[in-house]
Every structure is written in structure tokens, then in C-alpha cells.
């Protein structure tokens, strides 16, 4: 065999080897581990109830976190399979594993189905019917969003926000703790604030191409998004203040440490204002990027956790 033939054989081998491993690498990318930071919301209700220092409860909540990681990963795979034809025509989404061909749609569909069924079954084994209903509602809502709801103005934002709220309530179901009225108001409008912020940033930065990125963006006007963002931010802050100061809210569990819970309003206010500033500048539309890259929000988050932990557990 000539040197040229050997070189050509090595080149063919190199060209053929990557596809053998690409499906598994594509599967890992398709389940979007960066998005799993949203599932940390399951710790919020048990933390506020002051029960995370109990080892058995902590294990239950960690299990709920894992269940939601599996459920969200499954819905991402289903979404990519359903949207693959449209994604291939999009300048950015065409690089998604299913759309690009790095992950076969059949493998993605099977993996997604396995993850979804496993998440519901695990929820039942972990905490009974309460957590199972919440995980089932999350799966049903996200699949309905993928199939139809994402094309319905306002309803699509409510559906995405519901995913955040269901994560937060799942922690209470896993730990078997009741959820206060103010906790539910904070999570509902906080989730809406996040979703509207994402839509506002997309609307501002994509310009005339916004409809090709997300069809429903063409139905929103800048004034509608601004007013909805202001409303959701105002209600979120007001509800958080009431949750922190009300005698039946967080202050009921603090005793003489109430001042630390009162201090948590500072990073919350600054954090909301910072996000509004970023959105006004056309940035900050991706929640996971804010959580993983924005240094100010990370510092504010650490301060909030510190004040909260001392107030509840100190």
C-alpha cells in the first residue's frame, strides 16, 4: 500500500469515526444541562419552611430535583423532535443536535419518552400522588406548549411561567410542607416576570426577524411587553415584601432573627432593578445565562441565601 493510500485511509477513518460517537454527545447537548439550574426552585419551599436541615427531608428534595431534571430533559428532547423541520430553516436552531442530524430523531424520541415516563414513576415512588400530579402537570403543560400553546399569545407566556411555578410547588410536595399564599403569589408573578423579560429581550434584539425565531413574538407590541413586565415586577416585589414581613409568612419562623429576613428584601429589590436595566439595554433575556454568567446577580444571590439561611436556620 502506498503512502498516499495509507493517508487516504486514515482520512476516511477520521471522517467516519465522529458519527459513531456523535449521537451520545448530541444527546447530552439536547437535554440541555445548563437549563437544569431552573430546577433549583424545588428547594425554595422546604427552605422557607425550615426543614432542609433534616437529612430525610433533604434527600426527598434532592430526589425531586433529580425527577425534574429528568422530566425537563425529556420535554427538551420531545420539543427538538417536533420542531426539527422548522429548526433546520432557522439560522441558530439548525445547530441543535436533532435538527443538524448529530442526534437521530428516533433515538431522541425514545430517550425523551423513557425520561418522561421515568420521571412520573419516580415521583410516585419518591413522594406519592402529590408530587406525581405536579410532575404529570409539568409534562402535560410542556408537551401542550410544544404542540400548540407556543403559538397562542399570552397563553404561551402563562404556560412557560407555569413550569417555574410547578417546580417551586414540587419542593413543598416532596417535603410535605404547606405552601403559604404569599409564597404562591411570589412564585407566580416572579415566573411571569422572567418569561416576559425573555420575550422583551427577544423582541428588542431580533427586530424584523423575530417572527422566524418565535412566531408569537410578532403578535406582541413593545408597549404591551413593557407594561406586562412592569406589572409582574411590581406584584413580585410587593408580594415578596408581604411574604417576608407578614406574621404568617417567613417572619413566623424567625423568632428574634427577623432582621435577617427583612434584609433579604435588599438583594431582591436590587436584583429586579438590575434585570430591568439589562432588559432595557436589550440584554438579559436568557435566565440560565443570567444565573451562570452575571456576576452582580450571583453576588446578590449569595447575599440573599446568606440572609435567608441565617434568618430561618441561624
Nearest residue to 271 (alpha-carbon basis) of 227, 231, 307, 237: 237
Backbone angles phi, psi at 229, to 5 degrees: -65, -45
Domain residue ranges of the chain, discontinuous segments joined by +:
22-178, 180-314
Mean pLDDT of the 132-139 span: 97
Mean pLDDT for all residues in the chain: 86
For residue range 233-279, what is the model confidence (pLDDT) as tens digits?
Answer: 999 999 999 998 876 677 767 666 788 988 999 999 999 999 999 88
For residue range 48-70, what is the model confidence (pLDDT) as tens digits?
Answer: 988 999 999 999 999 999 999 99
Q: Do 266 and 311 contact (CB within 8 A), yes or no? A: no
Residues above pLDDT 70, as percent of the chain: 87
Q: What is the pLDDT of residue 307?
A: 93
For residue range 180-189, what is the model confidence (pLDDT) as tens digits?
Answer: 889 999 999 9
pLDDT at 20 over 80: no
Nearest residue to 66 (alpha-carbon basis) of 140, 142, 184, 170: 170
pTM of the model: 0.86
Which triple of cell numbers denotes residue 92? 441558530
pLDDT at 1 over 50: no
Mean pLDDT of the 122-151 span: 94
Spell out the CATH class of 22-178.
mainly alpha
Cα dihedral value 84, 85, 88, 90, nearest 10: -100
88 confidence band (pLDDT: 50, 70, 90): confident
* Angle, vertex CA 276, rays to CA 273 and CA 279, nearest 5: 155
Amino acid at each position: 500500500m502506498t503512502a498516499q493510500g495509507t493517508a487516504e485511509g486514515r482520512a476516511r477513518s477520521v471522517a467516519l469515526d465522529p458519527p459513531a460517537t456523535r449521537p451520545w454527545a448530541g444527546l447530552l447537548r439536547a437535554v440541555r444541562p445548563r437549563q437544569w439550574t431552573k430546577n433549583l426552585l424545588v428547594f425554595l419551599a422546604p427552605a422557607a419552611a425550615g426543614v432542609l436541615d433534616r437529612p430525610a427531608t433533604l434527600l426527598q428534595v434532592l430526589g425531586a430535583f433529580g425527577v425534574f431534571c429528568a422530566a425537563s430533559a425529556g420535554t427538551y428532547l420531545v420539543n427538538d423532535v417536533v420542531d426539527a423541520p422548522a429548526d433546520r430553516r432557522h439560522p441558530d436552531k439548525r445547530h441543535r443536535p436533532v435538527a443538524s442530524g448529530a442526534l437521530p430523531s428516533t433515538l431522541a424520541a425514545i430517550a425523551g419518552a423513557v425520561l418522561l415516563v421515568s420521571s412520573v414513576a419516580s415521583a410516585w415512588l419518591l413522594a406519592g400522588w402529590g408530587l406525581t400530579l405536579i410532575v404529570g402537570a409539568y409534562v402535560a403543560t410542556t408537551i401542550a406548549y410544544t404542540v400548540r400553546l407556543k403559538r397562542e399569545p399570552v397563553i404561551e407566556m402563562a404556560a412557560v411561567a407555569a413550569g417555574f411555578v410547578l417546580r417551586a410547588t414540587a419542593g413543598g410536595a416532596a417535603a410535605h410542607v404547606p405552601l403559604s399564599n404569599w409564597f404562591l403569589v411570589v412564585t407566580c408573578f416572579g415566573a411571569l416576570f422572567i418569561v416576559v423579560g425573555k420575550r422583551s429581550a427577544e423582541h428588542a434584539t431580533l427586530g424584523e426577524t423575530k417572527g422566524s425565531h418565535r412566531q408569537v413574538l410578532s403578535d406582541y407590541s413593545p408597549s404591551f411587553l413593557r407594561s406586562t413586565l412592569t406589572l409582574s415586577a411590581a406584584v413580585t416585589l410587593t408580594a415578596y415584601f408581604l411574604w417576608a414581613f407578614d406574621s404568617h409568612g417567613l417572619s413566623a419562623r424567625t423568632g428574634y432573627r427577623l432582621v435577617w429576613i427583612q434584609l433579604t428584601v435588599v438583594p431582591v429589590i436590587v436584583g429586579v432593578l438590575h434585570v430591568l436595566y439589562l432588559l432595557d439595554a436589550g440584554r438579559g433575556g436568557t435566565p440560565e445565562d443570567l444565573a451562570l454568567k452575571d456576576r452582580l446577580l450571583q453576588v446578590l444571590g449569595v447575599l440573599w441565601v446568606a440572609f435567608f439561611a441565617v434568618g430561618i436556620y441561624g
